[in-house]
Amino acid sequence: MPPPDSHLQTLKREFNQLQIQLAALKSELSDINRASRVMRADFAAMTKKYKQLTRAFDRAKTELWFATISSNKNVAKRAEEKMRSSIEDQAKIQRLLPGKYKSWAGVVRARNLLVESICECKAKIARKEEEIHTLQPCESLTCAHCGRVGAAALQRAKVNFKNRVARVLRAK
């Protein structure tokens, strides 16, 4: 069995490595979140453009209807051209959307996996910290690992103990 000091040093080294790994994972998560925000903004811009094209198509349709009623062929031809161009632009957007959805789904999947690995890393860090605390208790009065919760809690425990003893004595 290795000496306790070398085991403790090994645990501390592993603890530091886990903290470095956690920092790297958090940095990667912030990069993925930034990419997700960019993609969300791109989707918002595409949606806005699509709505604008829909409104332009409706205006051109109304314009065509009025031009047809007034028998104005030049205005009707311009309205038809506007309708055609807005339909083509909408079709371009619709062709781009499936690929964008797939890429965004990939980003979301990567983010979920990264969050899961961050949680696992935090759990490993907590276990290492517990193990270090069992081998080397700290001097703090407020350490949750060592079961110390502070002077106020210690005072409350003493008062509760005295009250129980008093009740037992009164009962006899």
Confidence (pLDDT) at 147: 57
Is residue 164 domain-shared with residue 120, that is, in the same domain?
A: no
The answer for residues whose C-beta is within 8 angstroms of residue 67's C-beta and 6 or more apart is 73, 75, 76, 79
Is residue 112 domain-shared with residue 153, that is, in the same domain?
A: no
Is residue 80 domain-shared with residue 146, that is, in the same domain?
A: no
Which residues constitute the domain of residue 167? Answer: 140-172
Q: Which two tokens stand for residue 53?
A: 């094209």
Confidence (pLDDT) at 46: 94
Per-residue pLDDT tens digits for 57-105: 999 999 999 999 999 999 999 999 999 999 999 999 999 999 999 999 9
Is residue 156 domain-shared with residue 78, that is, in the same domain?
A: no
Is residue 129 domain-shared with residue 165, that is, in the same domain?
A: no
What's the number of domains the chain is made of?
A: 2
Give me the residues of the chain with pLDDT under 50, please.
none
Is residue 62 domain-shared with residue 126, that is, in the same domain?
A: yes
Nearest to 32 by CA among 109, 128, 145: 109
Is residue 46 domain-shared with residue 31, that is, in the same domain?
A: yes
Return the HEC string of the chain: CCCHHHHHHHHHHHHHHHHHHHHHHHHHHHHHHHHHHHHHHHHHHHHHHHHHHHHHHHHHHHHHHHHHHCCCHHHHHHHHHHHHHHHHHHHHHHHHHHHHHHHHHHHHHHHHHHHHHHHHHHHHHHHHHHHHHHHCCCCCCCCCCCCCCCHHHHHHHHHHHHHHHHHHHHHC
The pTM for the full model equals 0.65
Q: Which amino acid is at 130?
A: E
CATH at residue 74: 1.10.287
Is residue 111 domain-shared with residue 80, that is, in the same domain?
A: yes
Is residue 88 domain-shared with residue 168, that is, in the same domain?
A: no
